Structure 1
């Protein structure tokens, strides 16, 4: 397979505090991308139908840009028809001479993980699945994703697709390849999907829907997310308040996977479980997801660590060169907020980082300085060494700005300062010499 293309993984938790029974897992804050828990989160593994989050992203982007519309009709290719008739795969059966709206195909893909419908969307956007896979890769790079490879739009193994090709379609990669990502990258894709297209939740949150209700194509689509109360009792899985997405995935290579998102009391989290173990893995992935969501909602909340206009004690002012005043007060532009363990705001200390390009050799700003001018940023450090880590590898930063105007002094004042400085230096030299006599 593909593992020679990637480092096997570069992060293993010293202590798995949640005991997640899966090959890899991660829990993040959906608003900021802060990583709250991880297990083997950089190990590259199969993602199966979690792939469809990228297909959703590209479709919703095309809808937004107007290149595709919801009521646009798709006419069947032989490839899509053949895939849709494979009852060993998740599908809604499509008619050879049928036409279907993009809205219908999107719902079939998002709710029921229908593979034929997914390829139909790919063909609509890019003309062919081959071209669509190129778009998937380009978009992943644009979003800053790492440790991934796409070979198709669905997440199936290429071997499941190759026998259905009879109209000039081509597959990317080898006959046995599948799409792969790390848990971190999968969470990052979900993070961008929710940030850029939150309307995806309107569809991912539907437990059951009838495809083409009232027609000969009618079929009940039951969401593969068995954490919805309507489905949990039926499948013996944990129902979870606030879960409204996002995407399951299962293949022999990837195992049972799940990217979830849940919201309660204004807090939203994203979890990823890859190759869940124990009992029926298709059910176990929801048990492992529940562990992470419980940990998040029970232990974390958004805290205001420092208020707006906070001043770092050791740097409440900065020296000014050539100004009417010789100092300027500086403070944070906005409050410093962080999703952290409850009642642990005292565990964080501020770190001021000044923009060195704005300072002279003596570490001074040069007048004029306007109120609101950015002079640097403030970040946080944990007093106990706890990691403050984000999906994109960045750190928390809040702008530090000048709190007031400082005008440039006129030539006369600057001249008098220079003269005063000269005589001060002379007097200092004489005083040192006289002291040396005694």
Structure 2
């Protein structure tokens, strides 16, 4: 016999005394209370596991981001490899345009000599570790068959991932003037790749969750690039937060730096300590005197990461504890009893401010048909708030085990901490 439970459990979680809404991308009260300020045109700090925003400043302005936009090129190359459309040992044959672009003074590069062959792995490592611009272009030409088509792929993927304030004109993040005469037709002669801080964080989120096995290369500090069959040059990771960098940071993993005249100095930083993993984005960092500097981006990234690791921690929450008194039992059709109590099979783990001992929540029961008893198991569902999805907790009516299991979905739209506590992407 089919048995239905007419219930849908939605959780709205509020943490007492905290308010972290970012309707306009400005600092929140919680940040102000912790005396947080970032010397940068835009910044964001995000929990890498859930996508929860812990700090935001001018998060949604579309700004030049220089080589930080190579994260999109990396994403698409790894996606092609994952699908089998590219292989790490596939070979690229450099031509005269590669040699010209890769040997121009003042541009980050490894030399790609006409007539020489380079593997996808060689080019990817050069792009990732030293932000080699010609290598990035070469990979785009391999994956997209042309510069123009690959740039279109970048913009299409941005829409697919929900990057609302991003636009790409080339594969590398160079100003188009530096690419002349190899700009993509139809793009501005002085065009720039532009992204918002939120979009960079969201791209980083998808990157680390889609390709977890590729994170080792992000933290690799030294490699070799075979310029010719008999000559190699060292690749030293440009990320100075890594252990042997100028400004080492405990737990630093990656991800991408960027700099040009339009973008200033920026970084997408990823760090992990214990179970906590944080993404920090800095665009156009300044020092205390208001001047741009490479050091400033690392200092501001460290400041954001310190704030996250110092003031936030994970806490387990048992949903049924927050059921209103009049909703602690639900009616059951064709069950052994007319009503069944609700108990939680699992807990939900959320990142909350440390020392927030008083957690308040409101659970609302809403009608929803579930599944056939014969199936017994309902998969945990995922329902997105914005673009980040959150796991689910199951609930079983405690005094009628013959009932089908009830899936409890926590939507970021409702289980937030969004309106009044912690917004997500």
TM-score range, shorter chain: 0.7 to 0.9
1:18 to 36, 41, 46: 36
Residues 381 and 391 in structure 2, CA contact (< 8 A), matched pair in contact too:
no
Equivalent position of 1:241 in the other structure: 250
Residues 346-389 of structure 1, C-alpha deviation per residue, up to 9 Å, x if partnerless? 3322332334244xxxxxx9998997679999x9xxxxxxxxx9
Q: Secondary structure at the match of 2:69?
A: helix
Question: What is the RMSD of the two structures over their aligned residues, measured on CA atoms?
Answer: 3.1
Q: Kindly tell me: are residues 399 and 43 of structure 1, through their superposed partners in 2, closer, same or farther at Cα, counting changes over 3 Å? A: farther
Equivalent position of 1:297 in the other structure: 309
2:235 to 218, 221, 225: 221
Alignment pair present for 1:252 and 2:261: yes
Equivalent position of 1:265 in the other structure: 274
Q: Secondary structure at the match of 2:266?
A: strand
Listed as ranges, the gaps of 5+ residues in structure 2 are 1-22, 405-425
Residues 318 and 344 in structure 2, CA contact (< 8 A), matched pair in contact too:
no
Q: Kindly tell me: are residues 37 and 92 of structure 1, through their superposed partners in 2, closer, same or farther at Cα, counting changes over 3 Å? A: same
1:47 to 65, 69, 85: 65
Q: Secondary structure at the match of 1:195?
A: helix
Instruction: Select the structure that is richer in helix.
Output: 1
CA distance in 1, matches of 2:93, 2:380: 58
Alignment pair present for 1:339 and 2:339: no
CA distance in 1, matches of 2:381, 2:203: 30
1:188 to 196, 202, 225: 202
Larger radius of gyration: 1
TM-score, length basis structure 1:
0.77
Equivalent position of 2:407 in the other structure: none
Q: Kindly tell me: are residues 170 and 371 of structure 1, through their superposed partners in 2, closer, same or farther at Cα, counting changes over 3 Å? A: closer
CA distance in 2, matches of 1:180, 1:35: 21
1:348 to 356, 359, 363: 359
TM-score, length basis structure 2:
0.79
Residues 78-127 of structure 1, C-alpha deviation per residue, up to 9 Å, x if partnerless? 33332111121100011111100111000000000000000111111110
Offset at residue 129 of structure 1 (A): 1.4
CA distance in 2, matches of 1:153, 1:376: 36
Q: Kindly tell me: are residues 43 and 31 of structure 1, through their superposed partners in 2, closer, same or farther at Cα, counting changes over 3 Å? A: same
Q: Kindly tell me: are residues 38 and 214 of structure 1, through their superposed partners in 2, closer, same or farther at Cα, counting changes over 3 Å? A: same
Higher relative contact order (CA closer than 8 Å, sequence separation 6+): 2
2:129 to 100, 104, 111: 111
Offset at residue 402 of structure 1 (A): 3.8
Equivalent position of 1:206 in the other structure: 220
Residue-pair matches, total:
373
CA distance in 1, matches of 2:403, 2:36: 57
